[in-house]
Structure 1
Amino acid sequence: MSNNFKPVTHVIFDMDGLLLDTERIYTQITQMISDRFGKAYTWELKQSLMGFTGKDAAQKLVEGIGLPITPEEYIKESHVLYDQYFPTANLLPGVEKLVRHLNKHNIPIAVATSSGKEPMALKTQKHTELFKLFEPIVCASSDPEITHGKPDPSIFLVTASRFKPPVKPEQCLVFEDAPNGVKAGVAAGMQVVMVPDPRVSPELREGAALVLETLEQFKPEDFGLPPYSD
């Protein structure tokens, strides 16, 4: 195990852009709505919104793009498109291997997502068996205990408290793709492995214990977890 890392016993995964290829779908849907008004959805704006919960994200998105609709109207329109596109979401590289490996070795794993329960159900339709392996699954937008989205650390602290039995933050390793998620994990007192979009600038990767291109590169033994046998 590297001297740079501390051993962990529990693992917490973000979902969008980390487990599932949904960030691409979010971008596609937002641009479809923006196109109606001749507006562009830039990478800079998208990057700044990663990790925000539904209502906060909609407010900032409408203002950032300059859409002549209310956040509520944006949410209503986008949800119609979510119903159509989210069920097509695919797993990202290395996800299934890592999740099944940790489960096989009885390492507790959780999902901590900014999504609400209904979008979560849509996104995971093709992967219900895999997502049954996670306990707990915390959906920030639907959870009364979580009053602030990432970069606030509450989502990760709540998730740690819901493992059975609850665990201390330092026992948890977080996987994240977004800068706000990394900040939240670090603020919670957890080590964070970041798997960012390649366009994320170097300064926004700071704070992560480790940065990977895909989950395929992750070596569990670096954090005291059982190594892959193959």
Structure 2
Amino acid sequence: MLEAIIFDMDGVLIDSESTHYPVLHELLAKYGYVYTQEHFLTYCGVPETDMWPQLLRTAGLNVSPEAMHQEHWRRYRRYLEIHGLPHFPGTAQLLSALRQSGYRLPWHPLLLPERLQNTWNSWVMHRILTA
């Protein structure tokens, strides 16, 4: 008998892909670079540690990849505060039904709330689990 169900959040429970494009588009526009949907699709799934150096070279921008990474996440958190958490249809109902049925919904140890206090991931997890 199943006793627990483990989910990866991004791409399974939440649809962050749909929210990153407008944030990146706005951020790069600040530097005069037109970030298109084609650019976005090129970098989908690429870790930001690899994406920022490549993208900044392509854009011809002399900006620190780390600074862009930090600014991107600051803007992304603000975007989510304004527009809400982009979860897939049925996510909240599924998690609620599983909890009500007695299933435990553990997460990867690095995603436990006590390790993520005051971070974006704990905010996301809280919003999903309390939906």
Pairing 1:80-99 to 2, within 5 Å after superposition: 80-87=74-81, 88-99=84-95
| 1:77 paired residue number | 71
Pairing 1:206-217 to 2, within 5 Å after superposition: none
| 2:5 paired residue number | 11
Which piece of structure 1 moves more, 73-82 or 7-16? 7-16
Please state which structure has a larger fraction of its residues in helix: 2
Report runs of 4+ in structure 1 exceeding 6 Å deviation: 113-116
Cα distance in 2 for residues equivalent to 1:113 and 1:32: 34
Q: What 5-or-longer segments of structure 2 have no aligned partner? A: none
- Residue 121 of structure 1 pairs with residue 122 of structure 2: yes
Please state which structure has a larger fraction of its residues in strand: 1
Cα distance in 2 for residues equivalent to 1:16 and 1:64: 23
Pairing 1:11-30 to 2, within 5 Å after superposition: 11-30=5-24
Cα distance in 2 for residues equivalent to 1:11 and 1:78: 32
Pairing 1:94-173 to 2, within 5 Å after superposition: 94-112=90-108, 117=116, 118-123=119-124, 126-127=127-128, 129-130=130-131
Cα distance in 1 for residues equivalent to 2:16 and 2:48: 17
Cα distance in 1 for residues equivalent to 2:125 and 2:105: 16
How many Å apart are 1:37 and its aligned residue? 4.1
Helix, strand or coil at the partner of 1:42: helix
Q: Which amino acid aligns with 2:97?
A: H
Match of 1:43 among 41, 44, 65: 41
Cα distance in 2 for residues equivalent to 1:15 and 1:107: 17
Cα distance in 1 for residues equivalent to 2:23 and 2:89: 23
Q: Which amino acid aligns with 2:95?
A: V
Q: Which amino acid aligns with 2:122?
A: A
Q: What 5-or-longer segments of structure 1 have no aligned partner? A: 1-6, 50-56, 131-230
Q: Which amino acid aligns with 2:49?
A: Q
User: Aligned-residue CA RMSD in angstroms?
Assistant: 3.0
Taking only the aligned residue pairs, the percentage that are identical comes to: 16
TM-score (norm. length: structure 1)? 0.42
Cα distance in 1 for residues equivalent to 2:2 and 2:128: 26
- Answer 1 or 2: higher relative contact order, Cα 8 Å, separation at least 6: 2
- Residue 33 of structure 1 pairs with residue 23 of structure 2: no
Helix, strand or coil at the partner of 1:110: coil
Instruction: Summarize deviations over 1:189-228 as a string: whole Å, max 9, x none.
Output: xxxxxxxxxxxxxxxxxxxxxxxxxxxxxxxxxxxxxxxx
**1:16 touches 1:113 (CA, 8 Å); kept in 2?**
no
How many Å apart are 1:39 and its aligned residue? 4.9
Cα distance in 2 for residues equivalent to 1:37 and 1:122: 32
Question: How many residues are aligned here?
Answer: 116
**1:45 touches 1:61 (CA, 8 Å); kept in 2?**
yes
CA 1:100–1:124: 2 relative to 1, 3 Å = same
